Amino acid sequence: MAPPAAGVPPPESHRRPAVPDEEIVRRLNELLEAERAGVEAAAALRKSEAGGLTEADTKKFGDDEAWACAGLHRAILQYGGVPSDRTGDFGRKVAALQSEGERLSLMARGQAWVVKRLDALLAMPLDQETRAFLAEMREQHLENIEACNRRADELEAPPSPPYRPLALARLREAHDRLYFGRWRAPGATDRDLQRTYAQLGRYLGALADEVQRSRSLEARRSLTKARRAYAKADPQVHGEGAIRSLDNTLSFAHSALNGLLSLYRMPTHNPADFESSYDVVGLPFRDVI
C-alpha cells in the first residue's frame, strides 16, 4: 500500500492519539496488572493438576493471559502511557486455596471482573486497533468463565462468600451468576445468549435434583413452568425474543428456588441482597476470600 500523500492525515485506524488519554491508560494499566496476576493463577492451576480441567484448558488460560499482557502493553504505549510494572495479588489468592473447585470458582470471578472492566473500556472512544484487540480479549475471557464455572460445578466447589452459610447455597449462587450475567446488559452478543442457554440448562438440572428430593408442590409447579419456558428458548434465535425466553426461564427457576426455601421455612432468596458481590469495584482482587 502506498503511503498517504503529503499533508493527508493517515486513516483513523492507523492514527496514533495526539494527546495521551490518562483515563484510558489508567484502565489499560489496571487490566495489565490483573492479567499478569492471571498468568500466575493459570500457572498455579497447571502445577496443581486441577481435577476436571484438561491440560489444554489450563494451557489456554495461561496463553490467553500472556497474549492479553502483550496486547495491553502495546495499547498503553499507543496511547502515550507508561506500562505499569506491578502485578495484582490474584494469582497468590488462587494458589492459596486448597480445593480445586474453589480455585476454579475464584478464577471464574476474576475473569468476570476483567470482562466488566473491558465493557467499560469498550464504551469509550478508542482507535480501531485497540478496540478490536479488547473485543477479542473479552471473548477469550468469556470462554474461560464458562469453562471454569462448568468444571467448578462438576467438582461441587464450596459456595463463595456470602452464600456459604446459607441454605441451598449452591443453587442461590448459581442463580445469581445467571441473574447478574452479561446477557441481560445492553450490548449483549449472540454468544452471550448462547452461553446463557447452556448455563440455564445445567441450572435446571441441578434445581430438578433438589426439587425431586423435596415434597414442595410449589417448587415442582414452578420448575415445570421453567422447563416449558426453556423449551421455547432456541439458542439459534437472537434478539429480544431470545432474551425474553431466557428471562422467563430464570424467573420461574427463581420461583422454584423460593418454593424450596419456603418448604424449609427459610427466608426467600433476593438477588438484590448479593448485588455488591457482583460489583466491579474491588472484585475479585480484594477481599473475596
Q: Are residues 37 and 143 in the same domain?
A: yes
Q: Are residues 34 and 131 in the same domain?
A: yes
The alpha carbon dihedral of 271, 274, 276, 282 has a sign of negative
pLDDT reported for residue 51? 54
The mean pLDDT of the chain is: 83
Q: What's the CA gap between 54 and 155, in Å, rounded? A: 14
148 vs 169, more confident: 169
Q: Are residues 214 and 144 in the same domain?
A: no
> How many domains does one find in the chain?
2
Boundary (domain end) residue, out of 93, 123, 154: 154
Q: What's the CA gap between 199 and 206, in Å, rounded? A: 11
Q: Are residues 60 and 148 in the same domain?
A: yes
Q: Are residues 70 and 196 in the same domain?
A: no
Q: Are residues 145 and 174 in the same domain?
A: no
Domain with 215 in it: 169-278
Does residue 2 carry a pLDDT above 60? no
Place of cell 434478539: 239
Residue 284 lies in a domain: no
pLDDT digit string (tens) for 173-215?
A: 999 989 988 788 777 788 888 888 988 999 999 999 999 999 8
Boundary (domain end) residue, out of 109, 128, 154: 154
Q: What's the CA gap between 124 and 78, in Å, rounded? A: 15
pLDDT reported for residue 59? 83
Cβ neighbour number for residue 140 with a 10 Å cutoff: 19
Q: What's 53's domain CATH number?
A: 1.20.1260.10
User: Would you state the cell numbers that stand for residue 270, as one nine-digit string?
Assistant: 433476593
pLDDT reported for residue 191? 81
Q: Are residues 31 and 125 in the same domain?
A: yes
Q: Are residues 76 and 102 in the same domain?
A: yes
Residue 5 lies in a domain: no
Residue 11 lies in a domain: no
